[in-house]
Structure 1
Amino acid sequence: MVPEAGESPTEPGRPVWVLNPLESVGPLRFGMSADEVRAALPGVFELKSFSAEPFYPDVYGLQLGFHPAVPAVYMYFNRADQLFSVAADASHGPRVTLEGLELTGRVPAVLEDTIFDLYSSPVRGVSYGPRGNPGINDIGMVLRVQDTASGVLTRPVLVGREWADRCTDDWEGSIPECEWLGRQWRTYEGSDVWPRPDTRRTGRRGGLPRSRRRPCEIYANRPHKADLFAEAHADVITEGMQAIADALTLA
């Protein structure tokens, strides 16, 4: 495939991973343990392990690269050490394909139009999460965006069968909180970056003083858990999560 204008060029050592929806992507099967993932990816560099979800501390991520110090793919494990989600870096990640359609490093508007053309049936319809990120619950896929040297390009986030229900919904779904940070597909509440610049880690957070912040339990069963929680408890965004947000948003 020849990259369209603004799309990420193919770099040496960047493999093609075929998505078998809900079951596997490339050499990885959803449900694998971390050790099984390492065995399936010989020669890949393990760059970092990090906390991925403030609501569920047992959920953790592994950041891997095809080259030293160059993040390419993010893998998320639950408390049972099962791989349940995979995200591909827009510039350096594997070239994930779905039925021949490349999902990684694409111009968002172009890929969005193509996805709509191919998956417009009631069974495999495109839906949008609370902050406007598109995906298809029935195949366990969400399309996020990421700032790159070539512009804003797509970053596919994939989940297995057991975790696909409402995966496009950042309140109800299973995709870790850190994958909803950074550049957004559309402008949301006046900004296309989350957390908004006035609430990000700058030494002193914006928003209400700590003494006036409300406990997180107040927000149970209300929409936009990530937004409400981040407003009231900005400090739950861990270093690993903030690093991903920074990587997704160069500005």
Structure 2
Amino acid sequence: MYADLWTVVGDTDRDQWEYTPLTTVGPLQFGMSPSEAATRMTAAGFTGDLVEMHPWNSQRSQHKAEFRKTQEREPYQTDVTAYYVEGVGLTCIVVDGLSGPQVSFDGMGLIGRIPSQLMNELGTYLAERDMGFTFTPQGDIANQELGFMPGVQRAGDMLLTRAVFANPDDRIVYTLDDVIPGEVWGHH
């Protein structure tokens, strides 16, 4: 059972998704309700469970849905995690580096890559467009305008990339850092 904890799905065996900054990640659209997201993910072959989380603040509840490819993953494996804030909808999406869909942005694969290769490619992309960058809490480069933060995830004795996509809806916050739930930062 635990031998499969570090299994990495090959790039060609992953679902292939596109990312449109601050708008969509594959079939998911920022702002959609949990039921709308569940319907789209079910149509894409995923199953998921909605879980209530600590409230966003005293006025807004927060939920997350953990999706996995139907009948291909163990119940403890999560390929995509979607976070929702009451009154705002889908605000954050985390794609697993081991088994999640390959998400591409402007021809750049973001998931399941060697971290230094993605950081070099992303750095070149930002420099060629004269876009600034920030550092994630883990020390990777990111850009607020692009609406995603790359990160790393352990795969046995090596690290692979995963990505956190977010839309900081101005009804609640103004930066990516503020809309991404704290539990996301502790994941490796």
Which TM bucket (shorter chain)? 0.7 to 0.9
Deviations 1:96-155 (A, max 9, x none): 100010000111111101111111267632211354242110011111111014721111
Q: Which runs of 5+ in 1 are unaligned?
A: 1-6, 183-247
Question: Following TM superposition, by how much is the alpha carbon of 1:49 offset from its aligned partner in structure 2, in angstroms?
Answer: 2.1
AA aligned opposite 1:162: D
Q: Helix, strand or coil: the match of 2:127?
A: coil
Aligned residue number for residue 184 of structure 2: 179
AA aligned opposite 1:174: V
Q: Which runs of 5+ in 2 are unaligned?
A: 1-7
Q: How many residues align?
A: 172
Q: Is the 8 A contact 1:91 1:105 kept in 2?
A: yes
Looking at CA atoms only, which structure, 1 or 2, has the larger radius of gyration?
1
Q: Is structure 2 residue 125 aligned with structure 1 residue 118? A: yes
TM-score, structure 1 as length reference = 0.61
Q: Helix, strand or coil: the match of 1:41?
A: helix
Moved more, 141-150 or 91-100: 141-150
Q: Is structure 2 residue 167 aligned with structure 1 residue 166? A: no
Deviations 1:195-232 (A, max 9, x none): xxxxxxxxxxxxxxxxxxxxxxxxxxxxxxxxxxxxxx
Specify which structure has the higher proportion of strand. 2
Aligned residue number for residue 62 of structure 1: 65
1:149-228 counterparts in 2 under 5 A? Answer: 149=156, 151-160=158-167, 162=169, 165-167=174-176, 169=177, 173-182=178-187
Q: Is the 8 A contact 2:56 2:85 kept in 1?
A: no
Aligned residue number for residue 99 of structure 2: 92
Aligned residue number for residue 49 of structure 1: 51
CA gap of 1:161–1:91, structure 2 versus 1, over 3 A, is same
After superposition, the CA RMSD in angstroms is 2.6
Question: Following TM superposition, by how much is the alpha carbon of 1:53 offset from its aligned partner in structure 2, in angstroms?
Answer: 6.8
Aligned residue number for residue 32 of structure 1: 32
